[in-house]
Chain A
Amino acid sequence: MGKFVSVLPLMIVGALSAAAPVRFELRDTSGSLHTSDEWRAKKAVVLFFTMTDCPLANGYVPEMNRLRATYEPRGVAFYAVQVDNTVSDAAVKKYAQEFGYSFPMLNDSHLALARLTGAKVTPEVAVLSSSGEVLYLGRVDNKVEDLTHPRYAATEPELRNALDAVLEGKAPKEARTRAVGCSINISIQPESK
């Protein structure tokens, strides 16, 4: 598994029972350990599902960096979640540096976070509560609602809308939007042990 620590099995248990908080323990590409403890003090957590060679996901990195700059000071934690387990740790690290991610990238080798949230493609984002409840799952904005007919420019910043609602203590108006992008091939990747 290289230097990445896999998600603890407890995390999945946590996801199944709404009451129990999600347990979380993963290393990022620079080797720092991230645990569920660091979520507790946050108002919300954003997971950005990505992979090294999905052009649609890569195109959103600058926007995600802007979102982090806006919302991190307001108590939101940001993580990129890399979901292609056929790519070496070194390649993931190089990729994170090249694209200038300003927030930690976790290698989700067993797709535990993808399964927890139900993310199916990259780019897809999940907004979680501090206890790991999925408050929003879907696209960053509506630029690509249909792969064959992308909008000239997005007209709805859906992730921003969701974060604004959550920070006001409300439920997002749209809790789920349909993300379009590179499929996360859960069926042919190894199951979480």
Chain B
Amino acid sequence: MKFLFLGGLAALATTAAAAPTFNKDIAPILYENCATCHRPGEVAPFSLLTYQDAAKRATLIATVTKKRYMPPWKPEPGYGNFDHVRRLTDDQIALLQQWAATGAQEGDAADKLTIPTFPSGWQDGEPDQVLKLSAPYTLAADGRDQFRCFVLPMNLAKESYVSGAEFRPGNPRVVHHALIFLDSTGTARKLAAASGGAGYPCFGGPGFTGAGLLVGWAPGYTPLPAEPALSQAVRPGTDVVIQIHYHPSGKPEQDQSSIGLKFSGPPTKGRALLLVVNRYLDIPAGDPHYVVKASVTVPQDAELWGITPHAHYLATDMKVNARLPDDSVIPLIWIKDWDFNWQGQYRYKQPIKLPKGTKIELEYVYDNSAGNPHNPSNPTVRVRFGEQTKDEMALAFLGLVLPSPEDVQPFQRAVVLQYVEDFVRLTDNLNDLPEEIPPAMIPRLRMALALFDRDHDGKLNAEERANLLKVIQTMMPQSQ
């Protein structure tokens, strides 16, 4: 039908000719993807709610979206189906470019959208307990980013169950991200006291073993609703430890962040944090492509709810896959262009079923050359595992859910056994036991190591190691 065909062409021509306008084309993109942070009082440096707000930054918006610097979203599409994805489509990015190039027009008033409203205060409703830094923390005007841990006693009278946790930055201008841990060992209190106050410097981790990661926060993070089925048992004497990454703003700033907790009854499901880690990385100075692998086998059927990959400044490419017992592979996450400053916790839209025997395989790539602008060492140096800025890490936290709370202990025990196996397989330094191994196990483990160290030289030779590994393997749960 010739007539219809021509009509179609005319419509196309009109669309192509019309310059995009704020009211019709741009506001929907900004409101959907940017306004959570870019609104008054929030973490972003400026608001993008009105035409005036956006128009004067049209070029900046075009630049940072084209480079995918904004919105900050690191995972590659197609590798993990995540909730709350903040990633613009190529078409949206093209529209933003066009809008800036054609003079950032406001457009027809009839197209104007109502400015969205956002809930103020706690996003998941009033918490049962609010813990706040005991005093404002003062951050200098400039200098290095600061990583500080603050100890907040929960003052519990009896064992309680935490079902939800929501972090609120006190001063969003300087709070770059936060991780919240539970410490039942009293170590964080001691570290804080030794530092002369309620906090202590902590770059790579909170500095105590068996730290339960409660929740994280980064700009744009949508807090999880409370989940009573997955509540966490907390003993009296437990402290909340908040690790905050501060980014100086150019003027002296103060921050007094807080965390809101919700309590419930005991959990009906099991909750396990599976750590995939390689602590034996050893990156030569100047090496532009160093590959680190690690794996852990899931010892029983589990559901994967979320993933938090972690490394420091040298990592460039991070991949975590699940290899199922039938050898099929489910990609869990791929970050092609890791940026320490934009690390996130990622939640799957639908929990991923991981049958018993599934192997979680981590493969991270590091660039320790002078050509890596993120490299904290100049000149470059040999880099090993550690908590300091110039050390590296290779790990991923996987948030798993098990059918019943009773499953958690055997699950953890089976995982620890794998860490022991890795330790025996990869190192011979008996004095360098990794912190994934619970302190209570260490004396017995030392005894076992001493027992297999037949020639008593403090090290395991190949034969001694093979013998010990055989014994450990008989203790591992059978995967098939």
Contact = CB atoms under 8 A, between A and B. Distances in A.
B248 to A, nearest CB: 7
A188 B58 contact: yes
Nearest to B389: A152
A179 to B, nearest CB: 12
Contacts of B289: none
A98 B374 CA distance: 30
A13 to B, nearest CB: 28
A interface secondary structure, majority: loop
A35 B375 CA distance: 45
Contacts of B250: 55, 57-62, 99
A152 B312 CA distance: 11
Interface in B154-168: none
Contacts of B248: 59
Interface string A160-174: 000000000000000
Given A62-B142, A183-B63, A152 B249 contact: no
Contacts of B374: 149-152
Interface stretch (B49-57, B263-271, B415-423): B49-57
A73 B14 CA distance: 62
Given A100-B141, A148-B69, A151-B373, A182 B251 contact: no
A152 B313 contact: yes
Given A187-B103, A188-B55, A146 B373 contact: yes
A70 to B, nearest CB: 16
Contacts of B373: 145-146, 149-152
A124 interface: no
A147 interface: yes
B160 to A, nearest CB: 40
Contacts of B58: 185, 188
A149 B337 CA distance: 9
User: Taking each of B60, B64, B378, which has the highest tally of chain A beta carbons within 10 Å of its own beta carbon?
Assistant: B60
A63 B64 CA distance: 25
B103 A58 contact: no
Q: How large is the interface on B (under 10, 10 to 19, 20 to 34, 35 or more residues)?
A: 20 to 34
Nearest to B339: A148
A86 interface: yes
Interface string B128-145: 000000000000011000
Interface string B283-323: 00000000000000000000000000000010000000000
B46 A53 contact: yes
Given A84-B56, A86-B56, A148-B67, A155 B378 contact: yes
B59 interface: yes
Contact of B45 (A53, A63, A146, A152): A53
Contacts of A60: 250
User: Taking each of B63, B103, B375, B376, which has the highest tally of chain A beta carbons within 10 Å of its own beta carbon?
Assistant: B63
A99 B375 contact: no
A60 B250 CA distance: 6
Interface string B20-57: 00000000000000000000000001100000100111
B104 interface: yes
A57 B249 CA distance: 10
Contact of A183 (B52, B60, B313): B60
Contacts of B251: 58, 61, 98-100
B141 A147 contact: no
Contacts of A148: 67-69, 337, 339
A126 to B, nearest CB: 19
B262 to A, nearest CB: 33
Interface in A99-130: 99-100
Interface in A46-68: 53-55, 57-63
Interface string B460-480: 000000000000000000000
Contacts of B378: 152-153, 155
Contacts of A188: 55-56, 58, 103-104
B471 to A, nearest CB: 45
A185 B64 contact: no
A22 to B, nearest CB: 26
User: Taking each of B52, B250, B373, B378, which has the highest tally of chain A beta carbons within 10 Å of its own beta carbon?
Assistant: B250
B45 A55 contact: yes
A146 to B, nearest CB: 7
Given A99-B251, A148-B337, A62 B141 contact: yes
Interface string A67-86: 00000000000000000101
A183 B57 CA distance: 7
A130 to B, nearest CB: 29
Contacts of B64: 147
Contacts of B45: 53-55
Contacts of B52: 86
A100 B252 CA distance: 9
Contacts of B337: 148
Given A58-B249, A152-B374, A147 B69 contact: yes
Interface in A4-50: none
Contacts of B375: 152
Contacts of B57: 182-183, 185
B56 A185 contact: yes
User: Taking each of B55, B63, B67, B373, which has the highest tally of chain A beta carbons within 10 Å of its own beta carbon?
Assistant: B373
Nearest to A151: B373
Return the 5 tightest CB-CB contacts between A and B, nearest first. A58-B250, A183-B59, A62-B142, A151-B373, A152-B376
7 contacts: A59-B142, A61-B142, A63-B142, A147-B63, A149-B373, A151-B373, A182-B60
Given A152-B374, A189-B56, 6 more contacts: A57-B250, A99-B250, A145-B373, A148-B337, A149-B339, A150-B373
Interface of B: 45-46, 52, 55-60, 63-64, 67-69, 103-104, 141-142, 248-251, 313, 337, 339, 373-376, 378
